[in-house]
Structure 1
């Protein structure tokens, strides 16, 4: 292997280590090695390099690692003028206050969807929505909204993925997407997570291109199908206001 390829591979591995912290704030060496499928000695060397540059910190008492301050320095310089997660936050908060349920914003990344923003309900029993969580595109109201308005080639790629759940009928799924395009919203009840229901609508830019899916979710005890259908006009209105902010 050439030196150039070795350098690129090392960079990929270092980035894989940083991505481990998307789901957990504190990780040990063994946990990181397991998630990245690298041997501990390789992980240890890369962690030492990342720590020397300020991207990783190690707690000497717990021997756990966490993201360093250099990450936040980089994040502070992100151009937020076109970031939906920032631009749409006021409308999401208003929608949460109107409907009293958790509001989330999703985008598609490959064959998954990512929750890029969330405003949790103030009720004692509520839908907890961690930002950065990745979910499959086969199930869930937001997943179906994202797929209903995507390019047909992308849709075909997703449903032909070997990881497609065997329990999800592809023909039924595509029929559901057609219905979503006709009605403009999607509803799911305990499709991905027991005890949870959600309703979602698309957000488009001014060129009518899909930007994200806006969803309201909560416990099935409060989120009946009838209740969610009553939420649809509120979501559509919020999505239209968000669309005006995106060129």
Structure 2
């Protein structure tokens, strides 16, 4: 596992406040305080600083906070070689081909994070907010990120105390081996009822796992047979995305 690095607590707290906005567009002082586990007076000072620098804005009518324009300024300077930018065109093409929501996930320590998404245009669809942080213990993309990870990283994650105790580790490792053999993973109503997904690995030119490409939608459309039929298209798209990486 990665070594824990020294951090500045005040910066961590300010970032925790900003990360609340990955789960909602507006938050009140009490709500943010509860989410980050800090006293309201501490959160108020953090918000005042962030507001002063333009990172959040306070609505005087509702007394709630939302992200400020400074966030947009930062996002406008995203590097052109950022994978989330590089792969967007291929993701749009895959969405148009399959008609479902396309997501790109990377592993961040014990979680997976959605770094890019292209929403389905169908009336009933899976909504995939960018920046969402999800557990590695469930879901098609989680299986991919574990199955194709370096063995010591994979084993350490599954042996970690945070791994669900009810999950049979030996059986799960066997499932990951099958995923490596077939080149993709599926999930059917694992994380939430009515949802299904199929995911394939994206490797860079050196053969190192970089991300997981996922196609998700309602389980009545993405049945096990449909996911199996669509797997070659997803694997092909993931390979093309890999060629874009240095």
TM range (shorter): over 0.9
SS in 1 for 2:201: strand
Once residues 11 and 91 of structure 1 are traced to their aligned partners in structure 2, the CA distance between those partners, rounded to angstroms, is: 36
Partner of 2:96: 97
Q: Report the alpha carbon displacement of residue 166 of structure 1 after superposing the two structures with TM.
A: 2.6
Partner of 1:179: 178
Partner of 1:203: 202
Q: Report the alpha carbon displacement of residue 72 of structure 1 after superposing the two structures with TM.
A: 1.5
Return 153-162 or 96-105, whichever deviates more.
Answer: 153-162
CA offsets 1:36-67 (integer angstroms, 9 cap, x no match): 11101111111111111111110000000111
Partner of 1:43: 43
What are the residue-to-residue correspondences of 1:27-42 with 2, within 5 Å? 27-42=27-42
SS in 1 for 2:178: helix
The alignment yields a C-alpha RMSD, in angstroms, of 1.3
Q: Report the alpha carbon displacement of residue 163 of structure 1 after superposing the two structures with TM.
A: 2.0
Once residues 78 and 87 of structure 1 are traced to their aligned partners in structure 2, the CA distance between those partners, rounded to angstroms, is: 11
CA offsets 1:121-148 (integer angstroms, 9 cap, x no match): 1111111111111111111111000101
Partner of 2:164: 165
Q: Report the alpha carbon displacement of residue 70 of structure 1 after superposing the two structures with TM.
A: 1.4
Once residues 103 and 71 of structure 1 are traced to their aligned partners in structure 2, the CA distance between those partners, rounded to angstroms, is: 24
Return 150-159 or 105-114, whichever deviates more.
Answer: 150-159
CA offsets 1:152-171 (integer angstroms, 9 cap, x no match): 22112211222212332211
Aligned residues: 240
Once residues 68 and 226 of structure 2 are traced to their aligned partners in structure 1, the CA distance between those partners, rounded to angstroms, is: 44
Once residues 75 and 222 of structure 1 are traced to their aligned partners in structure 2, the CA distance between those partners, rounded to angstroms, is: 34
Once residues 160 and 18 of structure 1 are traced to their aligned partners in structure 2, the CA distance between those partners, rounded to angstroms, is: 31
Partner of 2:120: 121
Unaligned stretches of 5+ in structure 2?
A: 1-6
Partner of 1:108: 107
Once residues 195 and 140 of structure 2 are traced to their aligned partners in structure 1, the CA distance between those partners, rounded to angstroms, is: 11
2:29 matched to 1:17? no
Return 163-172 or 88-97, whichever deviates more.
Answer: 163-172
Once residues 9 and 221 of structure 2 are traced to their aligned partners in structure 1, the CA distance between those partners, rounded to angstroms, is: 49
Unaligned stretches of 5+ in structure 1?
A: 1-6
Partner of 2:139: 140
Once residues 170 and 91 of structure 2 are traced to their aligned partners in structure 1, the CA distance between those partners, rounded to angstroms, is: 33
